């Protein structure tokens, strides 16, 4: 299984011939080393309705025919944009051809700016993916919350956690989140995209190591074999 970081909160997962793309903020993302038209996912997962997470979802899905997995309200809006979407709600799970997806809580907002208005896009969420026995948790944009202990009841092989602070939890809270999750490996995300969320990813990895947790601060475009 190959996991590639495309900057901010965008990840591409390649597994058994299927490509998953999470939060495809590529155009306008100063970290991205790839162009949106170079990505060819079969499925796109969107954690919430902010522009730096919806990103290029509509353009990519229209071009590739990818199914978008998102909160129900966001999926309805995507459907009106001509995109094939599968809506979910917090706590719900569904078995897709590539594996199982569970939508879990994230403490954050979710609104999309359109026609000079902010359109409500349902709750913000994270995703727990189970792919042939491997469990990956993409936390989305979130604050630290105690129910991460419940998410961690199922062993987490890889957790993608925001560390940027200001809009999400910062490094200290992310360290605690990694412990509560019982995560075997952690990749930090949602940092260094803009000055307001600048953080030292390598220092965060060292702090994880002190707690016995394996960490990988991937550079945009870098991949990790799981």
Which structural domains are found in the chain, ordered by start?
Answer: 2-217 (3.60.15.10)
Is the pTM for the entire model greater than 0.95?
yes
Helices (H), 43-132: 51-54, 57-64, 72-80
Residue 38 CA, distance from chain mean position: 19
CA 179 – CA 208 distance, rounded (Å) = 9
Residues β-bridged to residue 125? 105
Per-residue pLDDT of the chain (226 residues; tens, 9 = 90+): 999 999 999 999 999 999 999 999 999 999 999 999 999 999 999 999 999 999 999 999 999 999 999 999 999 999 999 999 999 999 999 999 999 999 999 999 999 988 888 999 999 999 999 999 999 999 999 999 999 999 999 899 999 999 999 999 999 999 999 999 999 999 999 999 999 999 999 999 999 999 999 999 999 999 999 9
């Amino acid at each position: 299984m190959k996991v590639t970081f495309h900057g901010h909160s965008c990840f591409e997962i390649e597994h058994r011939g299927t490509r998953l793309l999470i939060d495809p903020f590529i155009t306008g993302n100063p970290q991205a080393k790839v162009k949106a038209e170079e990505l060819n996912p079969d499925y796109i997962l969107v954690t919430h309705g902010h522009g730096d997470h919806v990103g290029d979802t509509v353009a990519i899905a229209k071009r590739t025919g990818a199914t978008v997995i998102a909160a129900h309200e966001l999926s309805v809006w995507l459907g009106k944009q001509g995109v094939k979407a599968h809506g979910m709600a917090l706590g719900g799970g569904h078995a897709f051809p590539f594996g199982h997806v569970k939508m879990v809580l994230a403490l954050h907002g979710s609104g999309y700016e359109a026609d000079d208005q902010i359109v409500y896009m349902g709750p913000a969420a994270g995703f727990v993916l189970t792919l042939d026995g491997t469990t990956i948790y993409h936390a989305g944009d979130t604050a630290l919350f105690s129910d991460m202990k419940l998410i961690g009841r199922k062993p987490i092989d890889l957790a993608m956690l925001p560390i940027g602070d200001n809009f999400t939890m910062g490094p200290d809270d992310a360290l605690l989140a990694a412990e509560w999750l019982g995560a075997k490996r952690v990749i930090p995300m949602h940092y260094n995209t803009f000055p307001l969320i600048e953080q030292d990813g390598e220092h965060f990895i060292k702090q994880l190591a002190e707690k016995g947790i394996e960490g990988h601060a991937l550079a945009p475009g870098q991949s990790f074999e799981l």
